[in-house]
Amino acid sequence: MRMDLFPWWQIWIWPALFTGLLASNNTTTAYSTEPSSREAAGTNRVSDDENQSPTPSWREIARNKSRLVKDLLTDYDKRIRPFTGVSPLEVRVDMFISNIWAIEEARMDFTIDMYLRQYWTDPRLRFYAPLANKEALTLNRQTIDEIWIPSTYFFNAKKAYFHDVTTENYLLMIQPNGDVFYSVRLTITMACKLTLQQFPHDVQKCEMIVESYGYQATDVFYRWNSRNTTNDVVYIAEDLEMPQFKITNIELEERTNIYNIGPHSALAAKFTFHRRLGYYMIQTYIPSMLTVIISWFSFWISPDSPPARVGLGITTVLTMITISNSARAPLPKVSYTKAIDWFLLMCLVYVFGALMEYAIVNFHACKVRKKKQERINSLSKRMRREFMNFNHDDELNPCLNEEEITNIQEEDQEQAKKITNNSEQAISFKPLTGIVIDRKNPFVLRTETYKRSGKTKTPEISELRSSTSTSQDETTGPLSKPYYFWDPDQKSFITSERAYIVDRFARISFPVTFAVLISIYWIVYAPDRIIF
């Protein structure tokens, strides 16, 4: 066989054909920024050779995606918005509310923890993906700094911060058709104009306004990413529970704010908060009403016990002041009157009125006490004169004649009759010849005298009151029931009938008027439904 006839060209052509075949198989699984001629022609069928091609490794897929991202960002200018000079860009927004902190009445704000999601289309980020693998590109935080994103800000935000534990909480996804999904987690403290005239029966409405800061409405406009219902646009976590409020409604609005530089597109979500009344019922309303009721106990305590009635009145007044201060502590210093102010003021007036009622009772009792003291002083003067006329042996003064002694005795008997006939007299009258005056205190009566020792025995107060009760029973008859539940001597000794009438009137008028005012308060200020 001649060597010059051997097909040497077959030695190098077969490896070249085998290498070309492998390259054509790898091309079918790679990403590219432009579709193939077959795809451009609209052919959607996959050949049998492609179905039988081996699956590429993850290293090869990663290298392909890296080349794809590099190709997408080549000649990409993030300073220019999509569709610039052609049409305004539509940015769709929805959000997930994970937590809402308590509303601070003193600072008039509320804090919300949320996931802000934005959707828009950027044709510069379109790419071709094989039919067998059409997943989106999920990129990290560094890529966000290299592409255009909307200049979204919160109009009524006081302060905000992004979360970065354990990594920065950002999400960026790019679909093959150029749709961009951008999500970020943040916590925002937003201002809320609270109206506290009906506090704590109030219903507050707080807005969250999202607006474009750097682009006017002719460049970028915002829309809510509507799906089915409002709950799909602003979704609230099912386990969200606020301690003092309950979210009852969310209102969505698309608006355009007009400024000097032009109109800006904005989105508004208005949250309706109903305040829960359970805390204030336990901490304010029930203790205040119980304090007022306790102050009424003084109407059944005898006016002869000033420490008991005055101490109870002052204690209830101080208790009401303490409750009022604790209820107003978390509230701002507003100039108008709130509902809880009217309630606490009403309770304080009733507690102070119970203390003033005892002042009126004591005034009438002092008038009676003064009259009795005048009679006692008059009687003491006569007893002192009797003492000057009689010695300790009950012998008449020899300096007086019989006619003078007879006149004195007749005057004493007439005075004794007048005192006995008076129903309000609190001291029984005894013959003046059996009464002596203590030299140390001539205004205190002494009923017995020891002649041998020369000392006098002071009668006990109980004996004096028992004698008084005997004289009253003889003139006016026994009382059917005592005036007061708590009276050391079972019946009032120095209180007049007029003072008792004041107490009896207060026992009825105070509870009845207080119940009427409380009913009016709840009718006026209570909302349609009370949430506990």
> Which residues does 397 contact at the CB level (< 8 Å), separation at least 6?
388, 389, 390, 391
| Residue recorded with tokens 């044709």 | 123
SS3 category, 346: helix
Give me the phi and psi of 105, to 5 degrees please. -70, -35
CATH classification for the domain delimited by 280-374+500-526, as one of 3.40.50.720, 3.40.50.300, 1.20.58.390, 3.30.70.100: 1.20.58.390
Could you list the pLDDT tens digit for every one of the 532 residues in the chain?
444 444 544 554 455 444 444 444 444 344 555 544 334 433 343 344 444 556 778 788 888 888 889 999 999 999 999 999 899 999 999 999 999 987 999 999 999 999 999 999 999 999 887 644 667 889 988 899 999 999 999 999 999 999 988 889 999 999 999 999 999 999 999 999 999 999 999 999 999 999 999 999 999 999 999 776 556 799 999 889 898 999 999 999 999 999 999 999 999 999 999 999 999 999 999 999 999 999 999 999 888 788 899 999 999 999 999 999 999 998 998 889 999 999 999 999 999 999 999 988 888 777 766 667 777 777 777 777 666 655 444 444 555 556 666 666 666 666 655 555 554 444 444 444 444 444 444 434 444 433 334 444 444 444 444 444 444 444 344 444 455 544 444 444 444 577 788 888 999 999 999 999 999 999 998 866 667 6
Identical fold for domains 60-275 and 280-374+500-526, yes or no, is no
Q: What pLDDT, on the 0 to 100 scale, is given for residue 434?
A: 40
Other CB atoms within a 10 A radius of the CB of residue 344 amount to 21
* Cα distances (angstroms) measured from residue 123 to each of 2, 28, 131, 178, 454: 65, 24, 20, 5, 127
Q: Is the separation of the CB atoms in 341 and 284 below 8 Å?
A: no
**How deeply is 351 buried, as exposed, middle or buried, from its count of CB atoms within 10 A (0-12, 13-18, 19+)?**
buried
C-alpha dihedral over 349, 351, 352, 355, to 10 degrees? 150
Give the Å distances, CA to CA, from 400 to 258, 390, 394, 435.
116, 10, 14, 20
Q: Which contiguous run of DSSP H or E holds residue 137?
A: strand 137-139
Tell me what pLDDT residue 522 has: 92
* Residue-level pLDDT at 228: 62
Give the model's pLDDT for residue 180: 96
Superfamily (CATH H level) for 60-275: Neurotransmitter-gated ion-channel ligand-binding domain (2.70.170.10)
- CA angle 386–392–395, rounded 5-degree value: 75
DSSP designation for 120:
E
Coil, strand or helix: which one is 436? strand
Question: DSSP states of 195-230 as a string?
Answer: --TTTTS-EEEEEEEEEESSS-TTTEEEEE--SSSH
Distance CA 518, CA 524 (A): 10
User: What DSSP state is assigned to residue 299?
Assistant: G
- For 181, the 3-state DSSP assignment is strand
267, 253 Cβ separation under 8 angstroms: yes
Neighbours of 318 (CB within 10 A): 12
Instruction: Supply the Cα-derived Rg of the chain in whole angstroms.
Output: 50
Least Cα distance to 427 among 449, 459, 392, 399 occurs for 459
Tokens read off for 26 = 């790898």
Instruction: Return the bridge partners of 203, or none.
Output: 274
> Hey, where are the domains in the chain?
60-275, 280-374+500-526
Length of the chain: 532
d(CA 234, CA 240): 14
Rounded Cα–Cα distance for residues 110 and 107 (Å) = 9
Backbone angles phi, psi at 161, to 5 degrees: -150, 150
Q: How many CB atoms lie within 10 A of CB 324?
A: 19
- Give SS3 for 345: helix
Q: β-pairing, 137-139 with 170-174? A: antiparallel
Say whether the peptide bond before residue 200 is cis (omega within 30 degrees of 0).
yes
77, two tokens: 């200018």
Residue 18 is predicted with a pLDDT of: 47
Distance between CA atoms of residues 319 and 482, nearest Å: 31
- Among candidate residues 152, 494, 497, 198, the one with its CA nearest the CA of residue 336: 198
Burial 466-493 (b: 16+ CB within 10 A, else e): ebbbebbeeeeeeeeeebbeebeeebbb
Name the amino acid, one letter, at 434.
G
